[in-house]
């Protein structure tokens, strides 16, 4: 049975323990000292006197357990300060997970808690009913897995939260647990689950970047579909990705970075850097728009080798890896091509010898004709039903087509890598059921937001709607069907 507890109307009187809003701390507790009509006077525990409207004063549960409750539905008052207080209390005790019914709330610990995710822990959660043990991401994966095995039902786990909240880390833990449950022992070669887990470092190298909030922010959405056979063993998997942030390839602002792969390649062993004619990241326009080149505690040179190893594991051949990095290097060189005004009006030429070098290198790496590449950058071809018109571009427009080309090449490279991973992991056309894990980029709002940011935020809002639909609206429909007396909540 599902229960819902709502903040019941409680009389606020002189002496009541309450929560009031605080500009610095969000909420602060205190005691009511006086009530003048709608105005409530509160003496806060941090020594302030606050006068506020009665509608902004919330009762505090003075009998709440000191360590908080592991399921928010056990709270006496389910209002914002009550929920936050409970999460904060638990967080102080390193309890980063809390349930709200069958939803799991995870608070980012920003530190490694290895014992929380070891094999011993996985074994404990195996087959345990939800709520029997402490809240944990493994428990959620276990429920999904049991439902699939017992009822043959496919399930999806939705991981949402704002940027830096810990979605990607949570997704990895979910997958690791599912691999633990459905993995095969004694299978020769690389198993599906190993390949799915190993595809993470590859996807992260090409689809993650440092942002203001997160040193390893996913700049794409991801839906991992793990397929199972009739005995509950993993039989295949597919990774579907959505809307890679393309603008980052050409434009970054301090203290953010471009996609990790560019910096990794600039730290590759000397002979590889020579092969791709690469220098330090500072020498490339697509990287030097921000002064941030390094990440704390990360060795780019080691990460480069780790990415190569991960590529081996997911089945990307040596030759293909070379092709991938040739394209990455080509994009860096492409970004260094500059244009000057040409003789004719609204036309441009390659600016100088340096730009000519980068043009030739780009062409060499992409294995295309340098003259064709040059034409593609400084001219625009328009095809009309009657004729084909070629028009020259001024330097500004040429820069625009250079950047557009870089973005297109990069996003196609990313899609190609994802396809490659999927082919290599292999899908099971006869799979009995799947468990999907959705990890999308989090909500973010800057002073200036691009169209891509709009799409990201729109996706988050749509998911929030989906969540509301399932958690509240459908619940209310049940209440109505069962004719339970219930005050309706309106959603916009």
Ligand X SMILES: Nc1ncnc2c1ncn2[C@@H]1O[C@H](COP(=O)(O)OP(=O)(O)OP(=O)(O)O)[C@@H](O)[C@H]1O
Determine whether 217 is an active site residue: yes
- Cβ proximity to ligand X: between 68 and 164 the closer is 164
To 10 degrees, what angle do helices 353-366 and 318-335 make?
160
Among the listed ranges 163-171, 248-256, 323-331, 360-368, the one in contact with ligand X (CB under 6 A) is: 163-171
Strand partners, 435: 155, 226
CB 57 within 8 A of CB 80: no
162 is in an annotated binding site: yes
Candidate ranges 23-31, 102-110, 128-136, 447-455; the one touching ligand X (CB under 6 A) = 102-110
Nearer to ligand X, 69 or 295 (CB): 295
Residue 24: count other Cβ atoms within 10 Å of its Cβ: 6
Contacts of 48 (CB under 8 A, 6+ apart): 28, 30
Does 98 engage in binding with ligand X (CB under 6 A)?
no
DSSP conformation letters of 332-372: HHHHT--EEE-SSTT-EEE-SHHHHHHHHHHHHHHTS-HHH
127 is catalytic: no
Segment contacting ligand X (CB under 6 A): 140-148, 164-172, 358-366, 418-426? 164-172
Q: Is 211 a catalytic residue?
A: no
- 85, 86, 98, 168: which one binds ligand X (CB under 6 A): 168
433-439 and 155-159 beta bridge pairing: parallel
- Which of 81, 82, 161, 207 binds ligand X (CB under 6 A)? It is 161
Contacts of 381 by beta carbon, 8 Å cutoff, 6+ apart = 388, 389, 390, 391
Q: Which stretch binds ligand X (CB under 6 A): 21-29, 110-118, 291-299, 326-334?
A: 110-118
What CA–CA distances, in Å, run from 299 to 113, 201, 268, 284?
A: 22, 14, 11, 20
Cα separation, 35 vs 53, in Å, equals 10
- The verdict on whether residue 161 carries a ligand-binding annotation is yes
Residue 115 DSSP class: G
Among the options 168, 170, 200, 211, which is catalytic? 168
Of the candidate residues 125, 260, 441, 460, the single one contacting ligand X (CB under 6 A): 441
Q: Which of 191, 200, 211, 218 is catalytic?
A: 218
Residue 164 annotated in ligand binding = yes
Q: For ligand X, which residue of 135, 166, 207, 281 counts as binding (CB under 6 A)?
A: 166
Q: Is 203 in the site for ligand X (CB under 6 A)?
A: no
For residue 258, indicate whether it is catalytic.
no
Question: Least distance from C-beta 437 to ligand X, angstroms?
Answer: 12
Please report, as ranges, the residues that interact with ligand X according to CB under 6 A.
108-110, 112-113, 161, 163-169, 214, 216-218, 441-442
Residues annotated as part of the active site: 163-164, 168, 214, 217-218, 442, 444
């Amino acid at each position: 049975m599902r229960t819902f507890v709502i903040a019941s109307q409680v009389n606020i009187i002189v002496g009541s323990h309450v929560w009031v809003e605080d500009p610095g701390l969000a909420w602060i507790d205190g005691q009511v000292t006086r009530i003048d009509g709608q105005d409530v006077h509160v003496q806060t525990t941090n020594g302030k006197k606050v006068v506020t409207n009665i509608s902004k004063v919330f009762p505090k549960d003075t009998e709440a357990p000191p360590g908080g409750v592991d399921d928010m539905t056990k709270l006496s008052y389910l209002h914002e300060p009550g929920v936050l207080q409970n999460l904060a209390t638990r967080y102080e005790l390193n309890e980063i997970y809390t349930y709200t019914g069958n939803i799991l709330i995870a608070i980012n610990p920003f530190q490694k808690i290895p014992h929380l995710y070891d094999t011993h822990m996985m074994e404990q959660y195996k087959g345990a009913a939800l709520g029997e043990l402490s809240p944990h991401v493994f428990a959620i994966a276990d429920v999904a897995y049991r439902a699939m095995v017992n009822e043959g039902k496919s399930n999806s786990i939705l991981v949402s939260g704002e940027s830096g909240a810990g979605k990607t880390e949570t997704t990895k833990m979910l997958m690791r647990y599912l691999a633990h449950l459905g993995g095969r022992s004694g299978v020769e070669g690389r198993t599906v689950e190993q390949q799915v887990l190993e595809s993470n470092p590859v996807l992260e190298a090409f689809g993650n970047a440092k942002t203001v909030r997160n040193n390893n922010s996913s700049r794409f959405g991801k839906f991992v579909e793990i397929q199972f056979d009739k005995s509950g063993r993993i039989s295949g998997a597919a990774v579907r990705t959505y809307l890679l942030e393309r603008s980052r390839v050409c434009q970054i602002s301090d203290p953010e970075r471009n996609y990790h792969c560019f910096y990794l390649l600039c730290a590759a062993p000397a002979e590889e850097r020579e092969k791709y004619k690469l220098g330090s990241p500072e020498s490339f326009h697509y990287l030097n728009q921000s002064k941030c080149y390094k990440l704390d505690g990360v060795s780019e040179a080691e990460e480069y080798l780790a990415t190569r190893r991960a590529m081996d594991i997911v089945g990307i051949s040596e030759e293909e890896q070379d092709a991938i990095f040739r394209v990455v290097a080509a994009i860096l060189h492409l970004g260094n091509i500059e244009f000057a005004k040409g003789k004719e009006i609204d036309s441009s030429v390659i600016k100088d010898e340096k730009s000519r070098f980068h043009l030739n290198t780009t062409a060499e790496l992409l294995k295309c004709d340098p003259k064709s590449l040059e034409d593609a950058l400084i001219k625009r071809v328009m095809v009309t039903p009657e004729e084909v018109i070629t028009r020259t571009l001024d330097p500004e427009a040429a820069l625009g087509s250079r950047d557009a080309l870089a973005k297109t090449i990069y996003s196609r490279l990313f899609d190609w890598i994802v396809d490659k991973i999927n082919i290599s992991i292999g899908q099971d056309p006869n799979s009995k059921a799947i468990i999907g894990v959705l990890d999308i980029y989090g909500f973010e709002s800057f002073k200036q937001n691009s169209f891509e940011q709009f799409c990201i935020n729109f996706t988050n809002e749509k998911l929030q709607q989906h969540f509301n639909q399932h958690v509240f609206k459908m619940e209310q429909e049940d209440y109505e069907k069962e004719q339970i007396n219930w005050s309706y909540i309106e959603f916009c």
